[in-house]
């Protein structure tokens, strides 16, 4: 399948995601977070650099250097769960992946 055909096949799923309530909540959170300053986020949470970093399978991800809050991460996980539950349930394939720690 060519890249063009693959991207066309994904479009309906993307459109559905934009219509979800969870996506609207993420968009609202983005507007609020875009006004935040990293300097203030670190001042309010001295352990931000440790709390918002994850390492697994040799990959290190540091979210602390982005305008991301705990609420932002919660909403993104909620959107991913909503998308997975809606898009994969009809296929009957069961759980595709679980987050680390069983959360």
Read off the pLDDT of residues 5-50 as tens digits, 9 standing for 90 and up: 555 555 566 556 556 677 888 889 999 999 999 999 999 999 999 9
Distance CA 52, CA 42 (A): 11
pTM for this one? 0.59
∠ Cα 12 87 28 (to 5°):
75
H/E segment holding residue 22: helix 21-33
Asked if 83 and 17 touch (Cβ cutoff 8 Å), the reply is yes
Three-state DSSP state, 59? strand
- Domain boundaries, given as residue ranges, for the chain: 16-87
Distance CA 35, CA 33 (A): 5
**For 55-71, what is each residue's pLDDT tens digit?**
999 999 999 999 999 99
Q: Please compute Rg for the chain using Cα positions.
A: 17
């Amino acid at each position: 399948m060519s890249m063009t055909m693959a991207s066309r096949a994904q479009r309906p799923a993307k459109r559905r995601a934009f219509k979800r309530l969870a996506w609207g909540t993420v968009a609202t959170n983005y507007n609020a977070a875009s006004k935040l300053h990293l300097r203030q986020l670190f001042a309010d949470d001295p352990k931000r650099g440790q709390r918002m970093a994850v390492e697994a399978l040799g990959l290190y991800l540091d979210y602390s250097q982005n305008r991301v809050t705990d609420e932002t991460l919660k909403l993104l996980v909620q959107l991913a769960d909503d998308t997975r539950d809606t898009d994969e349930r009809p296929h009957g394939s069961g759980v595709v992946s679980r987050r680390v720690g069983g959360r």
